[in-house]
Amino acid sequence: MKKLFFVALLSAGLTSCFDTQTATVSKNTAKAAEQQPVVSVPVFNQDSAFYYVKKQCDFGPRVPNTANHEECLNFLAKELTRLGGSVSLQKADLRGYDGTIYKSTNIIAAFYPERENRVVLFSHWDSRPLSDQEDGTEKTALKKPVMGANDGASGVGVLLEAARNFAANDPKIGVDIVLFDTEDCGAPRWKQSQVENDWCLGSQYWSKNTGYTAANKPKVGILLDMVGGANPSFCIDAVSGYYAPTFAGDFWKVANGMGFGSFFKNVNGGQIVDDHYYVNTLAGIPTFDVIDFDTERGFPEMWHTQHDDVEHIDRNTLGMVGRVLLRYIYTNCAK
Ligand SMILES: [Zn+2]
């Protein structure tokens, strides 16, 4: 999805919580830096990530309630199991903007499930039923589901390749991968939704039903969304900056330290709604979004059009995001 979001986020009570969080994390970081040996970060294979993006697109658009969607679900569940994850499927019937009931499945893969210290990684695996950013009429847009190579498959591709690394190289922390369904079924831009919160249906459901205990609730969540386009612009959006400022700041620092500062920009990323909004507000897990969006350009031009296809995926972008992700997890999270 992701639409502009104009609700004022700031409130005095929450601000003081984050001050405490920031202070604690900084202290721990300084202490850990003195004691920690040099950590080796496994190599992220961008061709493998690209393979996974293409593989998803080979099923066609993964629109909920279609055969393509079901086939891709089976593939993703099988592949995550093969890669060593303990996979569970969280199924729910979720109501869309026009009353449609979507047979929705969040795919959850736990690595090192016995560990209490955990991080959780998110992406969405469904694709949008219609191309409402395409030039054309309402009638034509409705007949054109989006392939979602970038908007959906790119984040999943990076997480599958990351999963391969988690099994082969112990990250010294438990890792959960959650692939949300039914993220992108919100109302077309010319229609009013019949329900509130018509985007991100899968993540809303998961956030109310995480199954975590106080002991194993992840300390941070990372959402990847549209991480496969050429020349991306990753900025810290308002929700990430408000709910997970220290974690997001550290992630951007890692990216900058690796020489990716021209893509991971230290500028305000604007106000959007994405799955992380619900994870933060409903599940209470501090979560930031790595998403190709900035306030000047907006979303990538292929967004919600027929051009969001494999031909417009840049495997270097997948590689960059994957490398930053692994470095962040193996160096910043495993403490
Ligand atoms: Zn979308």
Domains present along the chain, CATH in parentheses: 3-7+39-333 (3.40.630.10)
**118-132 confidence digits (pLDDT tens):** 999 999 999 999 999
Amino acid (one-letter) located at 253: K
pLDDT at 137 > cutoff 90: no
pLDDT at 2 > cutoff 90: no
Phi and psi torsions of 309, nearest 5°: -125, 180
Q: For residue 118, how far is its CA from the centre of ligand 1 (angstroms)?
A: 28
Q: For residue 79, how far is its CA from the centre of ligand 1 (angstroms)?
A: 24
Check residue 12 and give its pLDDT: 31
For 187, the 3-state DSSP assignment is: coil
Confidence of residue 139 (pLDDT cuts 50, 70, 90): confident
Q: What is the C-alpha separation between 139 and 143, in angstroms, rounded?
A: 7
Q: For residue 2, how far is its CA from the centre of ligand 1 (angstroms)?
A: 6
Q: For residue 82, how far is its CA from the centre of ligand 1 (angstroms)?
A: 28
Nearest CA among 181, 125, 180, 184 for reference residue 156: 125
Check residue 267 and give its pLDDT: 85
Q: For residue 9, how far is its CA from the centre of ligand 1 (angstroms)?
A: 23
Phi and psi torsions of 177, nearest 5°: -110, 125
Check residue 21 and give its pLDDT: 32
Q: For residue 128, how far is its CA from the centre of ligand 1 (angstroms)?
A: 6
Residues with Cβ within 8 Å of residue 118, at least 6 apart in sequence: 173, 174, 175, 176, 216, 217, 218, 219
Q: Which pair of structure tokens corresponds to residue 123? A: 């992406």
**238-263 confidence digits (pLDDT tens):** 999 999 999 999 999 999 999 999 99
Global pTM? 0.90
Q: What is the C-alpha separation between 104 and 119, in angstroms, rounded?
A: 24
Q: For residue 129, how far is its CA from the centre of ligand 1 (angstroms)?
A: 10
CB neighbour burial string for 287-321, b if at least 16 within 10 angstroms, e if fewer: bbbbbbbbeeeebbebbbbebbbbebbbbebbbbb
Which whole number is the average pLDDT over 104-118?
Answer: 98
> Sign (positive/negative) of CA torsion 55, 59, 65, 71?
negative
pLDDT at 317 > cutoff 70: yes
Q: In the sheet that 101-111 helps form, which strands lie side by side, from edge to edge?
A: 86-95, 101-111, 174-180, 118-124, 220-225, 287-291
State the helix-helix crossing angle for 46-58 and 315-327, rounded to 10 degrees: 120
Q: For residue 146, how far is its CA from the centre of ligand 1 (angstroms)?
A: 9
- What count of other Cβ atoms lies within 10 Å of the Cβ of residue 135? 8
Check residue 14 and give its pLDDT: 33
Question: With contact defined as beta carbons under 8 Å apart, do 46 and 315 qualify?
Answer: yes
For 111, the 3-state DSSP assignment is: strand
Q: For residue 334, how far is its CA from the centre of ligand 1 (angstroms)?
A: 32
Q: Where are the alpha helices (DSSP H) in the chain?
A: 12-35, 46-58, 67-82, 138-142, 155-168, 201-208, 238-243, 245-257, 275-278, 315-327
Between the two ends of the chain, the Cα-to-Cα distance in Å is 34
Q: For residue 189, how far is its CA from the centre of ligand 1 (angstroms)?
A: 12
